[in-house]
Structure 1
């Protein structure tokens, strides 16, 4: 079983003409997890893509548990090699995802000349296994347009010897690897991620991943 346990706290700081906005998503305890996520990321719509349809016996693949290390409730994302798939649409992969997208409130979408800061914590289990195909952990995509299906930035785990974590970038429809490092130090630890994007034709991007325990930088 592949099991990713995350404490996901998203801060969106939108900076435009000296106006600031912040949105947070925090686990608040077991029950109504999908409803909580939806109420923040896309009220009245469905920002959750999970493999529940083909694995209903397991229950919801995103739930909330209490984490003793952080002393707070966290979101737990679970995926299984079988029988999970991609929403009963694609059967050669699994998907367990939450997102902001075209049905999300405007203040959750980055537009030209805005600075957006995402912050969250995540933890990969010590026995987390990387798929030999791809294991995407985080993506940024455009909303609409001919390249909407191609992520601009992707944080992905790569099967290798040793396994790696990579930051991938696509200006158009071709991806390149910007950064990569050994995945092993990322497993079994709570990590803090800060991602800062200035949207525009001459925009900027920065990501920093630190260990929660000692604030040491693992990726930047």
Structure 2
């Protein structure tokens, strides 16, 4: 059952990758780390940051359960006041971490480059009596990779013990974090909420956030800024993180916690923004419907039959793992040289601005 699902989810994933969206959904108990890695990384890389080796008797600190409120499988992230620490690091006893992320070798559309707009969506549920640290308890971060400011998250959802306890939306483009907006933590405790976060990664960027109570559809935290520095200088890319990362400075304030997450989505240049370009998507896709590849499969050259360049202005190619293949020197008008590619299945994507008009399977023999 599990193996069949993974095959199906892989097929769905590759379709989503080439349309610039990747979705990670729980599919039931077992193989949780493997599922996460298969979507956010690759089978040979582990991007799950857990304290398992420091607490082997508990087992895996991320698992999957069926949730009756959402009527589907969800992820559970566990953290224990003791003996969990930060990824089993020796001598690190002032904080603890249980997170998932993307990383340098993830598919390109899972990493945010300067100038890109990315929309992140997910759901989460705190326990009914969740107790945050007075220092920090992060459940989401956008972090830069490389550069002098990489150690501090550019954006974070920080849960904080206060009067009242609150969730803070925190931001910095350097090292001086500020709170952009906050909400009473009682609005989150015991409730499933949905998050839509849209970021234009630029020194002159934009940021919007909407968090809703799923049961009532009430917006409990929203924020919009159309002129904000969303790029830490020196960064090679930015990436998301989700989970539990908290300070242990005041352990007496804390307890063992479980946070549930569901339906992670990463989408570059979301179509809701592209509509502003006033492009008729239905007409665009109808015009591209007749595009064919010939011969297919091929070992030398593939021709795009019935391809009208007025209906697309970019062609992209991806392999079966979702990795983007450079075709800059292989494309000549309506013909693509595939002679140097390894045997296998590829995807050719015809795009008009940021909208995918047509996706075709290309077999190289």
TM-score by length of 1: 0.89
Counterpart selection for 1:98 from 97, 100, 106: 100
Q: Which runs of 5+ in 2 are unaligned?
A: 1-12, 223-365
Looking at structure 2, the residues matched to 157 and 183 of structure 1 have their Cα atoms a distance apart, in angstroms, of 8
- Tell me the SS of whatever aligns to 1:37: helix
Unaligned runs of 5+ in 1: 1-10
Partner residue in 2 for 1:161: 163
Secondary structure in 2 aligned to 1:218? strand
Q: Within 5 Å, which residues of 2 pair with 1:32-111?
A: 32-43=31-42, 44-89=44-89, 90-111=92-113
Distance 2:156 2:38 in 1: 25
Offset, 1:20? 4.3
4+ aligned runs moved over 2 Å, structure 1: none
Count of aligned pairs between the two proteins: 204
More helix per residue: 1 or 2?
2
1:13-44: CA deviation from partner (whole Å, max 9, x where unpaired):
x9xxxx84110000000000000001111112
- 1:129-158 deviations in whole A, cap 9, x for unaligned? 112321001000112112111111011101
The structure number with the bigger radius of gyration is 2
The reply on whether 1:121 has 2:123 as its aligned counterpart is yes
| C-alpha distance in 2 between matches for 1:132 and 1:25 | 31
Is the aligned partner of 1:21 residue 2:20? yes
Report the Cα distance in structure 1 between the residues aligned to 2:121 and 2:29, rounded to whole angstroms: 23
- TM-fit CA distance, 1:112: 2.1
Q: Establish whether residue 205 from structure 1 lines up as the match of residue 207 from structure 2.
A: yes
Deviations 1:58-114 (A, max 9, x none): 110000000011110000001011111111212111101000122211110011221
The yes-or-no answer on 1:192 pairing with 2:194 is yes
Cα shift at 1:181: 1.8
| TM-score, with length taken from structure 2 | 0.54
Aligned match of 1:5: none
